[in-house]
Amino acid sequence: MDRREFLKIVGITSATTAGLYSCAPKKGAELTSKELGPVPTDQMTCRTFPGLGNDRPSLLGYGCMRWPTIPNPNGEGNMIDQDAVNELVDYAMAHGVNYFDTSPVYVQGWSEKATGNALKRHPRESFYISTKLSNFSDYTRENSLAMYRQSFKDLQVDYIDYYLLHSIGGGGMDAFRRRYVDNGMLDFLVEERKAGRIRRLGWSFHGSKEVFDEMLALHEQYHWDFVLIQMNYVDWHIAKGSGIGAKYLYEELEKRGIPVQIMEPLLGGRLSKVPDHVVALLKEKDPERSVASWAFRFAGTPKGVMTVLSGMTYREHLEDNIRSYAPLVPLTEEENEFLFHAAKLMEQYPTIPCNYCAYCMPCPYGIDIPSLFMYYNKCVNEGNVPESRQDPNYKEARRAFLVGYDRAVEKLRQADHCIGCGKCNKHCPQNIKIPRQLQRIDEFVEKLKQETL
């Protein structure tokens, strides 16, 4: 898709903003860098879709699964920092973000409440809220209904704009039937949509091609208003876990005119924390754009994409992402190919495809799985994973890895305590064989400690 084609579709929003963009004042002292200039407040790209009526969701959607937390004053773990959430939400809304995506299970079950608290300070019609039926552990009708009703209470709303069946694909079609069909929940939700308490009904997907095809076959029966898929330039052709590329998912949805929501545009931050020479590559292409902006532009470019969800904990990430979409400058074919090339380079690094979503947590044996994977990936990307004692920087890398390991994860929560019970595996949307990866890290650490690498 080229730029002109894109402008035709997006229409007035982009056309006017593009005009504004070029007319921006050019004073010498002003920070005119794409990474530092003023964050536009009125240029957010919004798309409309025939199936979504007058809805104009912002292209950047706020994922509410990574809200900032602070230590709980009672000393037990962490709690959401509501003041910080309010500030982030206000900032996002002031800059054109109007789509907020949460779930009853996010942030240890506190996300809906915190999101609701922040949003109720704004007029109800100024934002779209989306949440999910996350009945993973107990899919009886009673429990599912209770979860559904609790969402209204926690979000403090009387209707939900976008409602999703959470994580279709895990456990195959069987799990789908048990969670939503056999207990009558899906029929119930279709009725709720008719009654207007849910405005749009869709599902999020993490699974195999077969399940995806079967779910699309049900479109006639249930009429899916939208579908949430994982898409980024690394798994466009083929995804590491499920084996199907986002290209297939996207094209099948577009064919049927179903608006597409995107999750994991950054792969949990892995596409902003890329190996150093990939950073150099991207910066060479455009020194003023952030590394993350490439991933966002990639996810936002296809015209069937309604919203790209990103879980933003920090204001600078929010600002950067708003810049990427206010307005979106679509990628050219050539730029697309360039990103696929960068993805190929990244593939050569043995990182673990973890997005740090923490669905696997809490591990019953206290292992801090996401922190371990995050640390390992960081070391891989920074070249601090020595391959043999003959490596020229072996001594420094060994010390850096071992000292950093204890800093990143406290000793009792490190990989050597993984007993391999496998309870985490079924929760992983990326299909990572978690115990196997933990044991791989543990073996590596042992080799470093014993100097037998």
Partner 1 sequence: MLRKIRIVLAGISLLLITLLFLDFTGTLHAYLGWIAKIQLVPALLAGSVGVLIFLALLTLFFGRMYCSVICPLGIMQDIIAWFGKKAKKNRYSYSPKKEKLHSGFGFLFLICLVSTPSFSHFVISLLDPYSSFGRIATNLFAPVYRWGNNVLAYFAERSESYAFYETDVWMRSAWSLGIVVVTLLIISILAWRNGRTYCNTICPVGYWLGVFTWLSKTAMLRPVIDTSKCNGCRLCEKNCKGACINSKEHKIDYSRCVMCMDCISKCKRGAISYAMKAPAASCKAAASPTKEVPASESRRAFLTGAVIATAATAMQAQKKKVDGGLAVIEDKVAPQRQTTILPPGAKDIRHFTKACTACQLCVSACPNQVLRPSNALERFMQPEVSYERGYCRPECTSCSNVCPTGALTALTREEKSSRQIGRAVWIKKNCLPLTEGVSCGNCARHCPTGAIQMIPSVEGDDKSVKIPAINTERCIGCGACENLCPSRPFSAIVVEGLDTQKVM
Question: If we measure between CA atoms, which residue out of 261, 254, 256, 131 comes closest to residue 205?
Answer: 261
- Count residues near partner 1 (CB under 8 A): 59
Which residue stretch of 149-157, 186-194, 325-333, 340-348 sits at the interface with partner 1 (rule: CB under 8 A)? Answer: 149-157
Question: If we measure between CA atoms, which residue out of 282, 333, 325 comes closest to residue 305?
Answer: 325
Q: Which is nearer to partner 1, 203 or 405 (CB)?
A: 405
Least spacing, CB of residue 370 vs partner 1, in Å: 8
Among 37, 53, 77, 243, binds partner 1 (CB under 8 A): 77
Q: Which is nearer to partner 1, 197 or 426 (CB)?
A: 426
416 binds partner 1 (CB under 8 A): yes
Least spacing, CB of residue 136 vs partner 1, in Å: 6
Which residue stretch of 46-54, 103-111, 297-305, 339-347 sits at the interface with partner 1 (rule: CB under 8 A)? Answer: 103-111
Q: Fill in the per-residue mask, 427 to 446: x = in contact with partner 1 (CB under 8 A), - = not in contact.
A: x-----------x-------
Contact 399, 384 (CB under 8 A): no
303-332 binders of partner 1 (CB under 8 A) = none
Least spacing, CB of residue 275 vs partner 1, in Å: 17
Residues 6+ apart with CB under 8 A from 324: 60, 290, 292, 293, 296, 297, 300
Q: Which is nearer to partner 1, 14 or 131 (CB)?
A: 131
* Residue owning tokens 């999910």: 132
Among 34, 417, 433, 440, binds partner 1 (CB under 8 A): 417
Which residue stretch of 146-154, 191-199, 263-271, 327-335 sits at the interface with partner 1 (rule: CB under 8 A)? Answer: 146-154
Spatial distance between the Cα atoms of 243 and 241, rounded to a whole number of angstroms: 6
Least spacing, CB of residue 394 vs partner 1, in Å: 14
Instruction: Read off φ and ψ for residue 154, nearest 5 degrees.
Output: -70, -40
Per DSSP, what are the bridge partners of residue 309? 61
Spatial distance between the Cα atoms of 445 and 453, rounded to a whole number of angstroms: 9
Contact 112, 104 (CB under 8 A): yes
Spatial distance between the Cα atoms of 418 and 366, rounded to a whole number of angstroms: 9
* Alpha-carbon dihedral 69, 75, 76, 77, rounded to 10 degrees: 30
- Written as six digits, the tokens of 441 are 């890290």
Q: Which is nearer to partner 1, 254 or 416 (CB)?
A: 416
Contact 263, 63 (CB under 8 A): yes
Q: Which is nearer to partner 1, 152 or 349 (CB)?
A: 152
Among 143, 174, 182, 332, binds partner 1 (CB under 8 A): 143
449 binds partner 1 (CB under 8 A): yes
Give the C-alpha distances (Å, rounded to integers) separating 74 from 56, 70, 71, 108, 199: 42, 11, 8, 17, 40
109 binds partner 1 (CB under 8 A): yes
Which residue stretch of 101-109, 201-209, 266-274, 285-293 sits at the interface with partner 1 (rule: CB under 8 A)? Answer: 101-109
184 binds partner 1 (CB under 8 A): no
392 binds partner 1 (CB under 8 A): no
Least spacing, CB of residue 102 vs partner 1, in Å: 11
Q: Which is nearer to partner 1, 304 or 404 (CB)?
A: 404
Among 124, 141, 420, 436, binds partner 1 (CB under 8 A): 420
- Please tell me whether residue 262 adopts helix, strand or coil conformation: strand
Least spacing, CB of residue 416 vs partner 1, in Å: 6
219 binds partner 1 (CB under 8 A): no
73 binds partner 1 (CB under 8 A): no
Question: If we measure between CA atoms, which residue out of 371, 367, 369 comes closest to residue 379?
Answer: 371
Contact 418, 439 (CB under 8 A): yes
Give the C-alpha distances (Å, rounded to integers) separating 145 from 118, 132, 164, 183, 192: 25, 12, 14, 10, 12
264 binds partner 1 (CB under 8 A): no
Q: Fill in the per-residue mask, 331 to 370: x = in contact with partner 1 (CB under 8 A), - = not in contact.
A: --------------------------xxx-xxxxxx-x--
Give the C-alpha distances (Å, rounded to integers) separating 285 from 80, 269, 313, 321, 407: 39, 20, 28, 19, 35
- Please tell me whether residue 339 adopts helix, strand or coil conformation: helix
- Written as six digits, the tokens of 110 are 């506190």
Give the pairing type, strands 305-311 and 60-63.
parallel
Residues near partner 1 (CB under 8 A) are 65, 71-72, 74-78, 104-109, 134-138, 143, 146-147, 149-150, 154, 357-359, 361-366, 368, 396, 399-400, 403-404, 406-407, 410-413, 416-423, 427, 439, 449-451
